[in-house]
Amino acid sequence: MKKRLRRLAYLLLILFVVLNIICAIQAYHFTRFVEDYHAAPFHQMGFLDRTSAVLFGLPMAKSIVTDSLKAPHDTVTITTEDHVKLACWSVLHRPGDTIAPKGTIIMFHGHGSCRSGLIPEATAFYNMGWNLFMIDFRAHGNSEGSECSVGIKEAKDVKAAYDYVSSSGEKNIVLYGISMGAATITTAMSDYVSIQPSKIILEMPFATMHDAVDGFVRNMNLPAEPLGTLLTFWGGTEEGVWSFSHKPAEYVKKINCPVLLQWGKEDNRVLKQETDEIFANLASSNKTLVEYDGVGHASLCKNAPQQWTKSVTVFLK
């Protein structure tokens, strides 16, 4: 009996070690981007490729900027307080335009995307009469770096963008973010009291880093736990941060400006309970929650353009 128990203990220990190795490799790939890498989406892979991706991880390609923005814009480079150069677009209404700019919306994309992923939203905002400032987060698009902390270190990117626009004399600044971009806005406003936008628009922010990782695992049709906990631990360890303390749902308790929170009802990455928690915790007395039927974790503007345009237009008045 003792030998059997000892063998069982050894087997469980080996399984635990192997599982942690797999999660450490997966976390490494999730927080790093590789240039010039191409792979089929996970759901389109065959059995062997899926098995390999689960066991050994799948490198993530660094997003590529495609400039199809028709509104007049200039390329700008800004530098964060930790010396990371960020590539940006400054989209301004020119002298002589029939529309007088209402202010500036600073736009922040999601994990693995870049500023060109926000072109539909940017076009809509520009046509509403807003100037825009669009950045590539560190490790995304044409910005420097290869490592992503999913909103922790990226708060410095939000600060650099806000300071750049504010230094131009702009008084009416709105912050807009999707997914990681939305979560990073809450992080930055918690970390830096100098960030005081007129309004913010948050689309599909996750409640905690642990929740975000659980959503990533669910998207691969794998059990969220214990994989979510192990991936959160290893991702933070490899980035030199304690990821379990990254909680946008707590950060929003410091946000007092008007807030528009938006979420798609078919979202499998960010759950309704996360969205409800964030909305309940927002300190703002002027807050609106808009939910979209039939839309998942994707651009609300592209998938429900009429509802999105109406809710955003009303909020920005």
Spell out the domain ranges in the chain: 1-61+209-243, 63-208+246-316
- Which has the closest alpha carbon to 151: 273, 276, 234, 31? 31
d(CA 22, CA 29): 11
Label residue 40 by pLDDT band (50, 70, 90): low
Query: What CA–CA distances, in Å, run from 262 to 63, 78, 206, 247, 290?
Result: 24, 29, 12, 18, 5
Strand order in the sheet with 104-108: 73-79, 85-91, 131-135, 104-108, 173-178, 199-203, 259-264, 287-292
Q: What stretches of the chain show up as alpha helix (H) in DSSP? A: 2-30, 47-56, 119-127, 155-167, 180-191, 209-219, 227-239, 248-251, 272-281, 300-303, 305-316
Per-residue confidence (pLDDT) for residue 176, from 0 to 100:
98
What percent of the chain stands above pLDDT 70?
A: 97
The strand pairing partners of 7, in sequence order, are none
Q: What stretches of 31-131 show up as alpha helix (H) in DSSP? A: 47-56, 119-127
Q: Which two tokens stand for residue 72?
A: 């007049």
Per-residue confidence (pLDDT) for residue 41, from 0 to 100:
66
Q: Taking the domain 63-208+246-316, which CATH number applies?
A: 3.40.50.1820
DSSP code, position 160: H
Average pLDDT over residues 149-162: 97
DSSP code, position 58: -
pLDDT digits (tens, 9 = 90+) for 55-104: 777 778 899 999 999 999 999 999 999 999 999 999 999 877 777 899 99
pLDDT digits (tens, 9 = 90+) for 230-259: 999 999 999 899 999 999 999 999 999 999
Question: Is a pLDDT exceeding 70 seen at residue 48?
Answer: yes
Q: How many CB atoms lie within 10 A of CB 171?
A: 8
Label residue 7 by pLDDT band (50, 70, 90): confident
Query: What CA–CA distances, in Å, run from 139 to 35, 100, 154?
Result: 10, 35, 10
Question: Is a pLDDT exceeding 90 seen at residue 308?
Answer: yes
- Which has the closest alpha carbon to 278: 216, 224, 200? 200
Tell me the backbone φ, ψ of residue 131, rounded to 5 degrees.
-75, 160
Q: How many CB atoms lie within 10 A of CB 283?
A: 12
Query: What CA–CA distances, in Å, run from 61 to 32, 33, 102, 143, 147?
Result: 9, 5, 37, 14, 12
DSSP code, position 144: S
Question: Is a pLDDT exceeding 80 seen at residue 220?
Answer: no
- Which has the closest alpha carbon to 205: 227, 190, 221? 190
Question: Which amino acid makes up residue 201?
Answer: I
Question: Is a pLDDT exceeding 70 seen at residue 39?
Answer: no
pLDDT digits (tens, 9 = 90+) for 177-214: 999 999 999 999 999 999 999 999 999 999 999 999 99
Question: Is a pLDDT exceeding 70 seen at residue 113?
Answer: yes
Average pLDDT, the chain: 92
